[in-house]
Amino acid sequence: MRQASELVEGYRTGALSPVEATQEALDAIERYDAQVNAFVLVDAEGALAAAKESEARWHAGTPLGPGDGVPTSIKDALWTKGWPTLRGSTMIDAAGPWDEDAPSVARLRETGAVFLGKTTTPEYSWKGVTDSYTYGATGNPWDPSKTSGGSSGGSATAVGLGMGVWSLGTDGGGSVRIPAAFTGTVALKPTYGLIPLFPPSAFGTLSHAGPMTRTVRDAAALLDVVTGFDSRDWSAMPTPGRSFLDGLDDGIAGLRIGFSVDLGFVDNQAEVAALVRTAVGVLESLGAEVTEVDPGFADPIDAFNVLWWSGAAKVLSAYTVDDRVDPGLRRVAELGAAYSASDFLDATAVRMDLGSLMGRFHERYDVLVTPTLPITAFPVGQDVPDGSASPDWTAWTPYTYPFNLTQQPALSVPCGFTSAGLPVGLQVVAPRHADARTLRVGQAYQAATDWHLRTPTLEAQ
């Protein structure tokens, strides 16, 4: 499967065509999507028309930007002009009007990216797997009977099977990193505000947009495109002054890495822990100074749940709720509606304390490295793995949501496969605004390994 950089260079030289690349992506959708349900909308006619326009621009030497002609999908949580954004819900009127792009989608359109369609999400992106009454469940590229993770599971499965090179997801508690770990792909939750959001999420400042790709280099290239300032987002950061590709290959010699295999409170599957330790050994062999250490915080799950369940209550407060709404969403919304303003502020205080603690941690360590998840993918259609003591998705995602609370950049890269053939992810967390550092660590790891080059062997049907 080609990277975006390979496509763009091929377009520049004439060795490749945006039409050819788009047709390859559409062919992959035709071959595989019936098995995995990654897409809720595919616009083959519109994609090929856009690809022909891109081809003409490249032939004329006038591409719109660095993403011109790159086949791209959008999670069905981000407004996309001309297409309904139903968020996996029966409560949204498909009639629209749909006359505005979300900021990141607008930046992709401006660069000439070819939009293939919208990818599957659970209802209002509320949980860590991808299924809904509206669109059903999304399977894993390595085993469709297993979950893709979520809530950006459709995007992860799409890029994992070559159904487009880039995808854009969202992450409020791990929603790009969870499916990246489960599917053997790459995803970055950037510093909050780096990728503007509009309309604002009901889950507030926990929610980020993020690039989802097969490689770190592609994630950096996509991040370059979607980080432009947008005045509709009151918390949007200024447009970065340099490319995230700059310095990507500088290596990690001398970098101070704090490695925690369990954050002091997580139980991992044995193979997950072993593969992550091996991956950290690779980083050490590349010259990084690795110290095994825990950041020193207790599991902030209760505080996160107060904030997240409150957001769920806000989502449902605007609708007449019936049996077509995800029962888990209804359950946590009821919990969220019972919280007081004092509860919310107490949870916010935990969040601020955690942010301060991690700020001090990064005075000593340039990055924190952990597993992305303590487990591998479990059966599709379940919110939690078999035997879970909790019905909540946050019970099995302890490495991801803490860094939504702190708004730090966090990258997931594939670091191996279990004996059952399921992917495992390595998470790299950096201080706020050090997104380029997470990418540099991930790129160094991928340059020394080949996990990201391995592709699923799903048979076409």
Q: Are strands 256-259 and 367-371 parallel, antiparallel or unpaired?
A: parallel
pLDDT at 461: 65
Buried b (16+ CB within 10 A) or exposed e, 326-342: bebbeebbebbeebeee
Q: Which of 148, 175, 207, 260 is catalytic?
A: 175
**In Å, how far are 305, 316, 351 from 332, measured between CA atoms?**
9, 10, 20
Chain centroid to CA 139: how far?
16
Half-sphere exposure of residue 20, counting CA atoms within 13 Å on the CB side? 9
Active site residue 17: no
Phi, psi of 13 (to 5 degrees): -85, -15
Q: Is the Cα dihedral 101, 102, 103, 108 positive or negative? A: negative
Find out whether the peptide bond into 89 is cis, omega within 30 degrees of 0: no
- Tell the burial category of 290 from Cβ atoms under 10 Å away from its Cβ (0-12, 13-18, 19+): middle
125 belongs to the catalytic site: no
Q: Going by C-beta distance under 8 Å and a sequence separation of 6 or more, which residues neighbour residue 220? A: 243, 244, 245, 248, 436, 439, 443
Task: List for the chain the helix, strand, coil content (%; round to 5).
Answer: 40, 15, 45
Residue with tokens 């900021």: 103
What is the value of pTM for the model shown? 0.98
Chain-wide mean pLDDT for the chain?
Answer: 97
Distance CA 205, CA 200 (A): 9
Alpha-carbon gap, residue 410 to 174, rounded angstroms: 9
Burial label, 233 (beta-carbon count in 10 A; 0-12, 13-18, 19+): middle
Which domains occur in the chain, in start order? 4-453 (3.90.1300.10)
- 224: CB partners within 8 A, 6+ apart: 66, 240, 243, 244, 245
pLDDT given at position 105: 98
- pLDDT tens digit at each of 461 positions of the chain: 899 999 999 999 999 999 999 999 999 999 999 999 999 999 999 999 999 999 999 999 999 999 999 999 999 999 999 999 999 999 999 999 999 999 999 999 999 999 999 999 999 999 999 999 999 999 999 999 999 999 999 999 999 999 999 999 999 999 999 999 999 999 999 999 999 999 999 999 999 999 999 999 999 999 999 999 999 999 999 999 999 999 999 999 999 999 999 999 999 999 999 999 999 999 999 999 999 999 999 999 999 999 999 999 999 999 989 889 999 999 999 999 999 999 999 999 999 999 999 999 999 999 999 999 999 999 999 999 999 999 999 999 999 999 999 999 999 999 999 999 999 999 999 999 999 999 999 999 999 999 999 999 887 76
Per the residue annotation, which of 54, 75, 155, 412 is the catalytic one? 75
Enumerate residues 6+ apart whose C-beta is below 8 A from 294. 260, 262, 263, 264
Can 235 be counted among the known catalytic residues? no
The pLDDT, as a whole number, for residue 457 is 86
- Residues counted in the chain: 461
The one catalytic residue in 151, 167, 207, 260 is 151
Dist CA 49 CA 3 (whole Å): 22
Give the integer Cα–Cα distance in Å for 1 and 73. 16
What H or E segment, with its residue span, contains residue 166?
A: strand 166-171
Q: Show Cβ contacts of residue 270 under 8 Å, excluding neighbours closer than 6 positions.
A: none
